[in-house]
């Protein structure tokens, strides 16, 4: 019941975000052949970037002349950042939105447990994130047609999995805030704040070795394309941290929501 | 069997007052009124019964089950009309009602249409386009649709015009005949009086008393408004002339009495006065409270 209603009421947003992110990916990846054609020129040009700046975008490790490298630098960044904003916005409204709009009183007086309400809403969030990431992945794989060389499909798949995990983690944290707070606007501000702060920490960590330790606390460092390329996959500890943060956030959200006093 | 049972129920919100030590019970098949001024704790009590908020101390049972532990089972057989009706603005009235009904099983379309007809509600309208009164109608139908065993109505008549109130009260009587128990909060005594058998009176978060309506009103307290002729001046009533006057007020040509004595004495007394008009009505809730306090102090 609630799951279906949430899917329907968020369908429009999902379509818009899918079109924007899918379209943007398509647009950027369609430029790849001209990059690949002039690989040497491009490399020379990029060498003009100061090292640290290139590091922020992972260009010190990733090769723009390969499809996976190009995807990692150009498309993966947009997917992780914009996708996280989508995840934060989507999850922020889920529980707090009902209290904010005073519809919680209707919903929670139906014969349904609060755990079920929270789980159904969470399932709707995950279904939406899955759909958005499926579109992203479809575009990423379809555009390999632009590449002449043998594409590193496994690396591409790791990027996509990392992006999905990142989105899921951001959504879980935002969902916890949504359970704990009453005003949608405050939840949205705080959740977006966490996303941008986390991204800022990642940038700082890449800019200066002195702040390299910040990689350990930024979700964006966990899903960083350069790090994935270096290791040839998502590091198990990073994936574990994201999974743990997600599980704890969701458990906290449900635990708190079960006993929360609903504002009248 | 007691359908609703409160046992020293208490809810404190930090410094804000909630309710303190409220105990009473509602029997099966009753129409039970819950009256008190705004902010007395009526909604707080009701929201605890529905598990929207948790009690600080004490307990409450509905259908013999604890409201915190068996909330979902209890809610399956409750129809609830909140004081302030708010629904999803993007839905149409029919969609909202079917969504709601879906939680209880298969929607009874015939009953849905019949209720909408009785209350004169256009089901095709969007919730966001409905007036306050029409939203209230959606709320009433939503509460009645699944034939609940217990109806909890929080200030149900606010926003309804008199004609609709009438239709609504008829529906409630039918629900009672069907066997439903009705728990009904209001700050207007007259409303409760028309429908309820017993009432609980709450004030400042504490239960004042539980009483049958006939006894409460039949205690004889009346408001008597005497309008004197233009050339006469109202004189205060002396106790030896007419015993039983609880309070009196003179304002211009109008003398208002809060009267607890016999009707014959009253008529005998007013017969001699140069009156232009007379009105005998029910006392305001506040007046009843006032008398409660005086009785308490006297005891």
Nearest by Cα to B197 from B184, B178, B179: B184
User: Which chain A residues touch B71 with a CB distance below 8 Å?
Assistant: 113
Whether residues B104 and A111 touch (CB distance < 8 A) is answered with yes
**For residue B240, what is the DSSP state?**
T
Look at residue B187 in the predicted model and tell me its pLDDT. 83
Q: Among the listed ranges A68-72, A101-105, A241-245, B291-295, which one has the minimum average pLDDT value?
A: B291-295
In sequence order, the 6+-apart residues with CB closer than 8 A to the CB of A187 are: A92, A93, A96, A174, A177, A178, A181
Chain A positions contacting chain B at CB under 8 Å are 1, 5, 9, 101-106, 108-113, 259, 261-262, 264
Do B159 and B248 share a domain, yes or no?
no
For residue A110, tell me if it sits in a domain.
yes
Beta strands in B143-274 (DSSP E): 150-154, 181-186, 198-203, 206-212, 222-228, 245-251, 254-259
Chain A interface, best mutation among B56, B73, B75, by max A CB count within 10 A: B75
Chain B interface, best mutation among A93, A97, A106, A118, by max B CB count within 10 A: A106
Nearest-angstrom CA–CA distance, B8 and B3: 16
For residue A264, tell me if it sits in a domain.
no
Chain B positions contacting chain A at CB under 8 Å are 43-44, 47, 50-54, 71-73, 75-76, 78, 80, 82, 84, 86-90, 99-100, 102-104, 142
Do B134 and B168 share a domain, yes or no?
yes
d(CA A162, nearest CA chain B) in Å: 35
For residue B295, tell me if it sits in a domain.
no
Whether residues A259 and B54 touch (CB distance < 8 A) is answered with yes
DSSP letter for each residue of A147-185: --S---HHHHHHHHHHHHHHHHHHHHHHHHHHHH-S-HH
Q: Are B24 and B6 in contact (CB under 8 A)?
A: yes
Do B184 and B243 share a domain, yes or no?
no
Tell me how many domains chain B contains: 2
Nearest-angstrom CA–CA distance, B248 and A9: 60
Pairing of strands B222-228, B65-66: unpaired
Q: Are B56 and B14 in contact (CB under 8 A)?
A: no
For residue A13, tell me if it sits in a domain.
yes
Nearest-angstrom CA–CA distance, B59 and B21: 10
d(CA B149, nearest CA chain A) in Å: 14
**For residue A74, what is the DSSP state?**
I
For residue B202, tell me if it sits in a domain.
yes
Q: Which residues pair with residue A134 across a beta bridge? A: none
Print the domain residue range for B267. 222-282
Quote the tokens at residue B53: 């908020």
Beta strands in B1-157 (DSSP E): 2-13, 16-27, 31-35, 57-62, 65-66, 78-81, 150-154
Q: Which residues pair with residue B59 across a beta bridge? A: B7
Chain A residue whose CA is closest to B105: A111
Do B190 and B226 share a domain, yes or no?
no
Q: What share of chain A is helix, strand, coil (3-state, %, to 5)?
A: 80, 0, 20
Pairing of strands B150-154, B78-81: parallel
Tens digits of residue pLDDT in A93-124 = 999 999 999 999 999 999 999 999 999 999 99
d(CA B215, nearest CA chain A) in Å: 34
Q: Are A229 and A72 in contact (CB under 8 A)?
A: yes
Q: Are A72 and A234 in contact (CB under 8 A)?
A: no
Tens digits of residue pLDDT in A124-173 = 999 999 999 999 999 999 999 888 888 899 999 999 999 999 999 999 99
Tell me how many domains chain A contains: 1
Look at residue B290 in the predicted model and tell me its pLDDT. 66
d(CA A50, nearest CA chain B) in Å: 52
Binned at pLDDT 50, 70 and 90, residue A87 comes out as: very high
Print pLDDT tens along chain B (299 aa).
799 999 999 999 887 779 999 999 999 999 999 988 888 899 999 999 999 999 999 999 999 999 999 999 999 999 999 999 999 999 999 999 999 999 999 889 999 999 999 999 999 999 999 999 999 999 999 999 999 999 999 999 888 888 899 999 999 999 999 999 999 998 877 778 778 889 999 988 999 889 888 777 666 788 899 999 988 888 888 888 888 888 888 988 899 998 888 889 999 998 989 999 999 987 776 677 666 655 554 44
Neighbours of B131 (CB within 10 A): 10
d(CA A105, nearest CA chain B) in Å: 7
Coil/strand/helix, residue B92? strand
Q: Give percent of chain A with pLDDT exceeding 70.
A: 96
Q: What share of chain B is helix, strand, coil (3-state, %, to 5)?
A: 35, 30, 35
Whether residues A111 and B72 touch (CB distance < 8 A) is answered with yes
Tell me the whole-structure pTM to 2 decimals. Answer: 0.87
Looking only at Cα atoms, what is the longest distance across chain B? 70
DSSP H or E run through B277 = strand B275-281
- Only one residue has tokens 């989508």, namely A86
DSSP letter for each residue of A23-39: HHHHHHHTTHHHHHHTH
Do B196 and B256 share a domain, yes or no?
no
Nearest-angstrom CA–CA distance, A137 and A151: 15
Print the domain residue range for A71. 2-259
For residue B184, tell me if it sits in a domain.
yes
Look at residue B293 in the predicted model and tell me its pLDDT. 55
- Only one residue has tokens 């700082």, namely A204
User: Which chain A residues touch B142 with a CB distance below 8 Å?
Assistant: 106
Nearest-angstrom CA–CA distance, B249 and B234: 10
Buried b (16+ CB within 10 A) or exposed e, A246-255: beebbebbbe
DSSP H or E run through B280 = strand B275-281
Q: Which one is predicted more confidently, A252 or B241?
A: A252
Residue B184 backbone dihedrals phi, psi, to 5 degrees: -135, 115
Do B151 and B197 share a domain, yes or no?
yes
For residue B276, tell me if it sits in a domain.
yes
Do B238 and B168 share a domain, yes or no?
no
For residue B261, tell me if it sits in a domain.
yes
Do B129 and B74 share a domain, yes or no?
yes
Nearest by Cα to B64 from B34, B96, B28: B28
For residue A143, tell me if it sits in a domain.
yes
Tell me the CATH number at B46. Answer: 3.40.50.300
pLDDT above 50 (res A244): yes
């Amino acid at each position: 019941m609630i799951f279906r209603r949430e899917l329907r009421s968020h369908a429009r947003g999902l379509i818009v975000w899918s079109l924007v992110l899918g379209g943007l990916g398509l647009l950027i990846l369609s430029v790849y052949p001209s990059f690949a054609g002039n690989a040497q020129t491009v490399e020379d040009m990029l060498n003009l970037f100061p090292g640290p700046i290139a590091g922020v975008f992972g260009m010190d490790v990733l090769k723009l002349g390969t499809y996976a490298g190009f995807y990692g630098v150009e498309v993966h960044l947009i997917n992780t950042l914009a996708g996280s904003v989508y995840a934060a916005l989507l999850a922020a409204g889920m529980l707090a939105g009902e209290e904010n709009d005073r519809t919680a009183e209707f919903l929670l007086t139906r014969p349904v447990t609060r755990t079920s309400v929270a789980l159904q809403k969470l399932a709707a969030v995950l279904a939406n994130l899955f759909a958005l990431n499926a579109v992203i992945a479809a575009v990423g794989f379809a555009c390999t047609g632009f590449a002449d060389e043998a594409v590193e499909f496994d690396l591409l798949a790791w990027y996509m999995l990392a992006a999905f995990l990142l989105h899921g983690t951001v959504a879980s944290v935002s969902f916890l805030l949504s359970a704990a707070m009453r005003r949608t606007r405050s939840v949205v501000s705080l959740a977006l704040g966490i996303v941008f702060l986390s991204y800022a920490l990642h940038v700082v960590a890449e800019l200066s070795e002195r702040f390299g330790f910040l990689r350990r606390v930024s979700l964006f460092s966990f899903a960083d394309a350069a790090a994935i390329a270096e290791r040839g996959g998502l590091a198990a500890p990073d994936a574990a941290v994201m999974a743990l943060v997600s599980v704890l956030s969701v458990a906290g959200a449900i635990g708190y929501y079960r006993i929360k006093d609903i504002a009248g | 069997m007691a359908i609703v049972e409160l046992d020293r129920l208490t809810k404190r919100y930090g410094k804000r007052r909630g309710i303190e030590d409220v105990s009473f019970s509602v029997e099966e098949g009753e129409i039970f009124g819950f009256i008190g001024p705004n902010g007395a704790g009526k909604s707080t009590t009701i929201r605890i019964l529905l598990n929207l908020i948790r009690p600080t101390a004490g307990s409450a049972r509905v259908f013999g089950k604890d409201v915190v532990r068996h909330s979902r089972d209890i809610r399956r057989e409750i129809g609830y009309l909140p004081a302030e009706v708010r629904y999803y603005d993007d839905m149409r009235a029919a969609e909202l009602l079917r969504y709601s009904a879906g939680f209880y099983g298969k929607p009874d379309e015939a009953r849905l249409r019949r209720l909408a007809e009785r209350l004169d509600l256009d089901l095709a309208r969007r919730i966001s386009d409905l007036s306050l009164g029409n939203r209230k109608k959606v709320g009433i139908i939503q509460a009645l649709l699944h034939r609940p065993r217990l109806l909890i109505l929080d200030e149900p008549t606010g926003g309804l015009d008199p004609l609709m109130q009438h239709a609504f009260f008829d529906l409630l009587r039918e629900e009672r005949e069907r066997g439903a128990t009705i728990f009904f909060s209001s700050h207007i005594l007259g409303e409760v009086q028309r429908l309820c058998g017993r009432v609980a009176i709450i004030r400042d978060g504490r239960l004042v008393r539980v009483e049958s309506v006939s006894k409460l009103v039949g205690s004889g307290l009346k408001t008597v408004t005497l309008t004197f002729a233009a050339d006469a001046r109202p004189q205060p009533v002396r106790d030896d002339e007419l015993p039983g006057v609880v309070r009196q007020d003179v304002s211009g040509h109008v003398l208002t009495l809060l009267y607890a004595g016999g009707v014959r004495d009253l008529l005998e007394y007013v017969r001699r006065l140069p009156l232009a008009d007379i009105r005998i009505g029910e006392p305001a809730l506040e007046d009843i409270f006032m008398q409660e306090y005086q009785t308490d102090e006297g005891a």
